[in-house]
Amino acid sequence: MQGKINPESVKKKFDMTTTETAYYACKPTMLAFSAKYILCFMILVVHLFFWWSDGADLGDDTNGFIQLLVSVAGWLGIAGFVFIMLIVTWFNRFMNWSSSGGWYTTSMLIITITPGIFVIEDVIVTVSGWFGAEYAGLLPSWDNAWFLILGFGYFAIMLSLTIWYNRSFNYAISDRTIYLKKDFMLNHTLHNIPLADINNLKLDIPWYGRILGFGTVNMLTASGFGVRHESISVSTGGAVDTAASTQSGFLRKMLRLFIVVISLQRTRQDMDTSEPEDCLYGVAKPMEVYKLVNELQVQRVDQIHTTNVAHDEPAVEQSQAEEAAPEETLSDLVD
């Protein structure tokens, strides 16, 4: 695999030492971030559906279930959009997969409440008029075409950030160290994992990774690097207590319950498979990469062991020579 890279260029890019030899360099494949890309398209589809459902002219031969969905969407309008987006946001968060992080959850919530902001401002303008205020509002009045505008706008933003995030990771493997580099926005990190410190390797290839040709190689060290607790889920008792609190008003209780539900995730502890900055995430030909890391690790451990034995041999020989030398008696010293 070393022949596929420029070793000197890789060494310079990852600030390797002069005594290291670069063997491999790669990035995560785009297919490894498929969950994030699917989420971007789902946001667009929901927006387009609610835009299209308003005044959609369906023929008599249209499937009855589709007719029902279009009728309900057109009748509920913004309330239905917010409800559907909350379900999508909660499901994405609860499943605890690669798109379930705080950044995506926050973005989904912002997208969800955006149409509601238009409605809230319309209400403020109306109420202000009742009291003689001349507040005209900062936003234009809501029109169903905003579903189309916001859909493509948020889709373009989310897709651009996802592509940028996808391309912000770089990995390299030398005969001594594994390098994990991240450059995203203002965030710059570089993890150096010495091969000799790796206690365990895990190759994770999901079912769709077998079809699309990618997988993740995780490294577990003695310091605990590579192990994660997958969720920050809230216990059932805490949720019931939140909902049953009698010291808060109804709206406050509903808000707290909403936050609890959104925060729920599946809980398990495993070797880290979802953070691209902590593993060789979504790399092409994962089995070859796994074998390369395993082979270099064995070579490195044997090299260190051989070096330690070579350093210990003179000390052992000197100790044996001292033990073998005849002891001087008191008479010898006197003479």
Per residue in 175-202, pLDDT (tens digit) is 999 999 999 988 899 999 999 999 889 9
Domain count, the chain: 3
Domain shared by 106 and 63, yes or no? yes
Q: Which residue among 212, 241, 264 closes a domain?
A: 264
pTM, whole model, 2 decimals? Answer: 0.73
**Residue 182 phi/psi, 5° resolution?**
-135, 130
Chain segment 218-251, per-residue pLDDT in tens: 998 876 555 454 444 444 444 444 444 444 566 6
Q: Do 211 and 316 fall into the same domain? A: yes
20: nearest Cα among 247, 296, 225, 317:
296
Specify whether the CB–CB gap between 56 and 205 falls below 8 A: no
Task: Judge if 94 and 124 occupy the same domain.
Answer: yes
- Tell me what pLDDT residue 229 has: 44
76 to each of 14, 53, 57, 59, 106, how far by Cα in Å? Answer: 54, 10, 17, 21, 24
If asked whether residues 85 and 192 sit together in one domain, one would say: no
257: domain range?
A: 231-264
Ranges of residues in the chain whose predicted pLDDT is under 50? 227, 229-247, 268-271, 329-330, 333-334
Residues 39 and 20 in one domain: no
**295 and 284 fall within a common domain:** yes
Cβ–Cβ < 8 Å for 290, 205: no
pLDDT at 238: 43
Distance CA 196, CA 296 (A): 9
Query: Where does a domain end: 122, 147, 166?
Result: 166
User: Using CA atoms, how far apart are residues 42 and 47, in angstroms rounded to an integer?
Assistant: 9
What is the predicted pLDDT for the residue at 251?
A: 62
The answer on 236 and 226 residing in a single domain is: no
Q: Are 88 and 151 found together in one domain?
A: yes
Residue where one domain finishes, among candidates 241, 264, 287: 264
For the chain, what is the mean pLDDT? 79
Q: Residue 128's CB: how many other CB atoms inside 10 A?
A: 14
The Cβ of residue 93 has, within 10 Å, a number of other Cβ atoms equal to 23
Q: Are residues 126 and 67 in the same domain?
A: yes
Helix (H) or strand (E) holding 148: helix 145-166
